[in-house]
Structure 1
Amino acid sequence: MAQVIRETLADRAAQLLLDRIRSGEWALGEKLPGETTLAPQLGVGRSTVREAIRQLAGRGVLVTRQGAGVFVASLDVRDDWDEVLRRADILAVIETRTAIESEAAALAAARRTPADVRAIRKALAERDLSRPGGEQPRSLIEGHVDADLRFHRAVVSAAHNPVLQELFDALTPRLRQTMVDMLRIRGAYGDDADHDAHVRLADAVAGRDAAAAAALSRGHLAGVAEGLA
């Protein structure tokens, strides 16, 4: 029973500390007072202060430096990445995708291997087969969106940067549903101009033209953003 009470007090103390940090009482990078100072201010014991600090350190707000003390690492709790994407405006997601993919396309042009080019060409061919044109049922629209995302993922993968790959994959679920909904509203999709833009991107990566690959990626996604306006 005492353990439950101590944890509850620690939760409360952590929230009080977080409120004070949010209010600006301590600046980013500033050292917090010691446990003997914080304990009476928070109305708890030193062990509870230590537990509260551990909680906030686990949430990225505080950092403990051995022999130096406890410092403010963030002015608020970091949101879960999935929650951030759920709340984000889709245009913000596309802007983020543009930043990721344009850089990835340039890196892919510089780093791609023959196997990467084959994977990009294969994904491009599958994307081509998925674009029937005209008004289509949802299942075919979903198939086209999935084929499109596989193509763009193949380009990102050719950059050989695991961080860019992880960021692209994190954006994909949020983006996929929006693209499906957008194409349903449009009714028609997969015209020759759109396909040719993807062919040019694949050719730029294969031809090691980093500037063209980045520009083509950026231009394509600008068009996607305009379609959402």
Structure 2
Amino acid sequence: MPLGPVRPSLLVEQATVRLREQITDGTWPVGARLPGETTLARELGVGRSTVREALRALAGAGLVRARQGAGVFVVATEPAEDWPTRLRRAAVTDVYEVRTAVEVHAARLAAHRRTPEDVAAIEAALAGRRAAGTADDPAFVDADIAFHAAVVAAAHNPVLADLFAQFRPVLREGLIELLALTGLRADDPDTGDEAHEALVRAVREGDAATAVRVLEAELADPFAG
């Protein structure tokens, strides 16, 4: 397979920054039509291919949009944040609310859709969580999140699984900080074990109502574990 020409990435980055500055400082407000590629290339001192790549980058950031036969127009003055970036900036309480919505629905589906392999994976994750009861907080949180991920996986809904995976890093950081602040595990190293066991039992028995009730009660606690 031919490699093709190497892109002048540095020129593209510089051109993208220059064009973005024109948008963010109001030179080209929302709704404005950008000059053509030839004009932009001449003003920036680069080739048209570089301008084209820079415009693609701006489009990917949600700042401009091409209209067939009309040109390229400014649609926003601030770049759109992707989902992982937004999650990194979100308050852990907001992430926690989303977690509750995702996991409660996943538990309901898991009770209906679980396979013997799913149940085995959830039971193994519970055993791993219990084994982490003597570990430090990060290791315990990792084991706890792995358990919840196993329940979500048993729902057999790839969108729910992807959502959980996206906010998992933020959730992990928040829970580790919360444990460090509260010292919750000092008296109960394996905190929440009864609720987790009840959730496993409900999913295994196909009892969706109980699975939802157990998980809602568990996640209402400051540390859902």
Instruction: Please confirm whether the aligned pair reaches a TM-score higher than 0.5, indicating the same fold.
Output: yes
| Offset at residue 96 of structure 1 (A) | 1.8
Partner of 2:200: 202
- After TM superposition, the structure 1 stretch with the greater mean CA deviation from structure 2, 158-167 or 50-59, is 50-59
Distance 1:90 1:165, change over 3 A: same
- After TM superposition, the structure 1 stretch with the greater mean CA deviation from structure 2, 108-117 or 179-188, is 179-188
- The aligned runs of 1:161-200 (5 Å cut-off) are 161-189=157-185, 190=188, 194-200=192-198
Aligned residues: 211
Contact 1:13 1:49 in 2 (8 A): no
Partner of 2:20: 14
| Offset at residue 151 of structure 1 (A) | 0.7
CA distance in 2: counterparts of 1:19 and 1:53, whole angstroms: 17
SS of 2:222's partner is helix
CA distance in 2: counterparts of 1:12 and 1:87, whole angstroms: 26
CA distance in 1: counterparts of 2:198 and 2:83, whole angstroms: 33
Contact 2:22 2:28 in 1 (8 A): no
SS of 1:130's partner is helix
Contact 2:202 2:210 in 1 (8 A): yes
| Offset at residue 57 of structure 1 (A) | 1.2
Deviations 1:169-204 (A, max 9, x none): 222222223322322333342478721111121122
The equivalent position to 1:221 in structure 2, one of 214, 219, 222, is: 219
Gaps of 5+ in 2: 1-7
Task: Please say if 1:153 is aligned against 2:159.
Answer: no
Superposition CA RMSD, Å: 3.8
Q: Which amino acid aligns with 2:210?
A: A
Deviations 1:49-94 (A, max 9, x none): 7555322212233343555765677674122444333322211121
Partner of 2:94: 92
CA distance in 2: counterparts of 1:6 and 1:185, whole angstroms: 46
Deviations 1:16-46 (A, max 9, x none): 23555996x43xxxxx64745xx69xx779x
Deviations 1:194-220 (A, max 9, x none): 211111211222222333323332321
Q: Which amino acid aligns with 2:221?
A: G
Q: What TM-score, normalized to structure 1? A: 0.71
Q: Which amino acid aligns with 2:143?
A: A
What percentage of residue pairs aligned between the two structures are identical? 42
Distance 1:7 1:144, change over 3 A: closer
Gaps of 5+ in 1: 27-31, 133-138
Partner of 2:62: 60
SS of 1:224's partner is coil
